[in-house]
Amino acid sequence: MEGHRQAQVVLIIDDHPGNLGVAVGHLEGHAYEVITARDGASGLRRAREIRPSLILLDVEMPGIDGYETCRRLKASAETCEIPVIFMTVRGATDEKLRGFELGAVDHLTKPFDASELVARVRTHLELCALRHDLEALVARRTAELERELELRSQLLQEHVALLAMLRRQGDQLRELTLGSPPVLDEPPSPVFPPAVLLGLSARESEVLHLIVKGRSNKAIASILELARTTVSTYRMRLMTKLEVEDTASLVRRAIELGFGGAE
């Protein structure tokens, strides 16, 4: 912990030499590096140049007072993340609230106790370090998630490409099968190889076979012991699978695929 503190710089902005001496002595005694400024303007300049780990800021100073100095610190992208602790002889609640509204993280009332000064400085430096560690952890985890999402996207693209290849191979196999139909003396049965290639169930094949034979929904329902609405559903499903829009086209397509012709 002491080695960690040696890298931490505290900037004290105070126009009173006595206050500066006391604060510097206490903090340097606990292995903090301390830089000082005697007014708001020089404090702003040193803050931009040094980028301290924390700033102790007096409220009552000639020229730019502590409140205006804090406002300018928080308005600058270079210094807005530096924690600021106000030091003042004022103890009124409204004065403390004004400091917090301007972005300060804490408030010390003069004359301050040495142990309280060191404790508050240590606490806010540790909180700042924890915040930075958390931000680094979040950034690292975000990068890991982005890489994981990218990998998943690549795998999905490969999966889609593989499915497309399998679909093309299926189309080629279907064309080869339909190009050399078997020669039979009898009409093919309802469950013919093209039905398998088209993904038709046995019942769908039976319905299609009867449609090709010219049977009506009522007749098909009677033959297969189905409800007429169920036959209509099968007819629509077959039109979708064979990619046709009416019964006549369905019959022509079925005959092309090897189902028996109409009686």
Q: What is the pLDDT of residue 179?
A: 57
Residues 213, 87, single domain; the answer is no
**Residue 151 falls inside a structural domain:** no
Q: What is the pLDDT of residue 191?
A: 43
Say if CB 99 and CB 86 are below 8 A apart.
yes
Q: Which of 136, 161, 179 is the last residue of a domain?
A: 136
CATH (domain of 6): 3.40.50.2300
Q: Please give the DSSP secondary-structure letter assigned to residue 213.
A: T
- Cβ neighbours of residue 148 closer than 8 Å, sequence gap 6 or more: none
CA 5 to CA 125: how far, in whole Å?
Answer: 9
Range of the domain at 185: 170-263
Residues 125, 26, single domain; the answer is yes
Residues 191, 104, single domain; the answer is no
Residues 130, 201, single domain; the answer is no
Q: Which of 112, 136, 160 is the last residue of a domain?
A: 136
Q: What is the pLDDT of residue 233?
A: 92
Residues 68, 184, single domain; the answer is no
**Residue 165 falls inside a structural domain:** no
Q: Which of 136, 153, 184 is the last residue of a domain?
A: 136
CA 238 to CA 244: how far, in whole Å?
Answer: 8
Residues 191, 248, single domain; the answer is yes
Q: What are phi and psi of 217, to 5 degrees?
A: -60, -40
What would the pLDDT profile of 152-201 be if each residue is shown by its tens digit?
888 888 888 888 888 887 777 777 766 555 544 444 444 445 555 567 78
**Residue 158 falls inside a structural domain:** no
- The tens place of each residue's pLDDT in the chain, 263 residues long, gives 444 444 699 999 999 888 888 899 999 999 899 999 999 999 999 999 999 999 999 998 988 999 999 999 999 999 999 999 999 886 677 778 888 999 999 999 888 888 999 999 999 999 988 988 888 888 888 888 888 888 888 888 888 888 888 888 777 777 776 655 554 444 444 444 555 556 778 888 888 888 888 899 999 989 988 898 999 999 998 888 888 889 888 888 888 877 654 44
Q: What is the pLDDT of residue 188?
A: 47
Q: What is the pLDDT of residue 49?
A: 94
User: DSSP string spanning 90-154?
Assistant: ---HHHHHHHHHTT-SEEEESSPPHHHHHHHHHHHHHHHHHHHHHHHHHHHHHHHHHHHHHHHHH
Q: What is the pLDDT of residue 91?
A: 66
Residues 128, 32, single domain; the answer is yes
As for how many domains the chain has, the answer is: 2
Task: Kindly tell me the burial class for residue 32, based on how many C-beta atoms sit within 10 Å of its own C-beta (0-12, 13-18, 19 or more).
Answer: buried
CA 203 to CA 200: how far, in whole Å?
Answer: 8
CATH (domain of 175): 1.10.10.10
Least Cα distance to 57 among 78, 76, 75, 83 occurs for: 83
Structure-token match 């990998």, residue found: 151
